């Protein structure tokens, strides 16, 4: 039997990269899937590409009011939710002196505030049992230059998984984290760097990767499927680091 048969999963940021790969894997494993995205065109393209009866919801991951709208759309379509993959995020990098309050607020809003209020909004329709998977980052554990705000937002998300695990486990809701290292996704193209700078950045990252390559989005998606499935029913408040050995150096 497929590992997510008869389950419904919501994947935020499901139009590209890890989120899209997770949606593909969830469908392969028999799940009913809802995805969110900010860009309407990419959202519709993802819905078509997934070739399934996917619920596509346009929403800003950092907008608190939008999280209630997401929960309403999921409830109207599916009634209940068995799994949630909080994947939507931004990865702003920059030196200390470059940060502004607006940029800080956006990063924290999308990566930490939005997820908290999404979980709050979805709590009434989460099944018992249910699984929440948060997308953290290896940057929360290593001192990479220029990653201060991004790393702090992901560290907060990882902490949230532990505290919410203690709070929600009595309702049958498990909360866990996947923390990827460098993964080949379109996210790197959104850093505002020219191609030469991106190439230099990639070379620097590869030099510190024992695996010798970037991860594939489906490798992270496989871990999400495990944590969303009943196979991980005794896994609570845990973090699965998938970084090609980057954190071992």
Active-site residue set: 150
Angle between helices 17-28 and 217-228 (to 10 degrees): 50
Distance between CA atoms of residues 223 and 220, nearest Å: 5
Residues ≥6 apart with Cβ < 8 Å to 170: none
Range 73-79, long-range pairs (CB < 8 A, 24+ positions):
73/34, 74/8, 74/10, 74/34, 74/122, 74/125, 75/125, 77/34, 78/8, 78/32, 78/34, 79/125
CA proximity to 56, closest of 13, 115, 120, 8: 13
Strand 32-37 relative to strand 55-58: parallel, antiparallel, unpaired?
A: parallel
Report which secondary-structure segment, H or E, holds 132.
Answer: strand 126-135
């Amino acid at each position: 039997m497929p590992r997510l048969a008869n389950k419904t999963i919501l994947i935020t940021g499901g139009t590209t990269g890890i989120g899209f790969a997770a949606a593909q894997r969830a469908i392969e494993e028999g799940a009913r899937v809802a995805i969110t995205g900010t860009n309407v065109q990419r959202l519709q393209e993802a819905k078509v590409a997934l070739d399934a009866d996917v619920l596509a919801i346009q929403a800003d991951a950092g907008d608190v009011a939008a999280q209630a709208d997401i929960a309403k759309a999921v409830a109207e379509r599916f009634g209940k939710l068995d799994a949630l993959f909080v994947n939507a995020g931004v990865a702003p990098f920059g030196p200390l002196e470059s940060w502004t309050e607006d940029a800080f607020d956006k990063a924290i809003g999308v990566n930490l505030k939005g997820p908290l209020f999404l979980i709050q909004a979805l709590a009434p329709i989460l099944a018992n049992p249910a699984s929440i998977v948060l997308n953290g980052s290896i940057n929360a554990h290593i001192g990479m230059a220029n990653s201060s705000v991004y790393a702090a937002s992901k560290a907060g998300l990882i902490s949230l998984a532990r505290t919410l695990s203690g709070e929600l486990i009595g309702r049958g809701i498990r909360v866990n984290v996947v923390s990827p290292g460098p993964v080949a996704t379109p996210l790197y193209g959104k850093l505002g760097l020219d191609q030469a700078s991106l190439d230099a950045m990639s070379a620097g990252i590869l030099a510190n990767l024992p695996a010798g390559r970037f991860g594939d989005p489906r490798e992270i998606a496989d871990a999400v499927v495990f944590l969303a499935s009943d196979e991980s029913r005794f896994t609570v408040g845990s973090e699965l680091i998938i970084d090609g050995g980057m954190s071992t150096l």
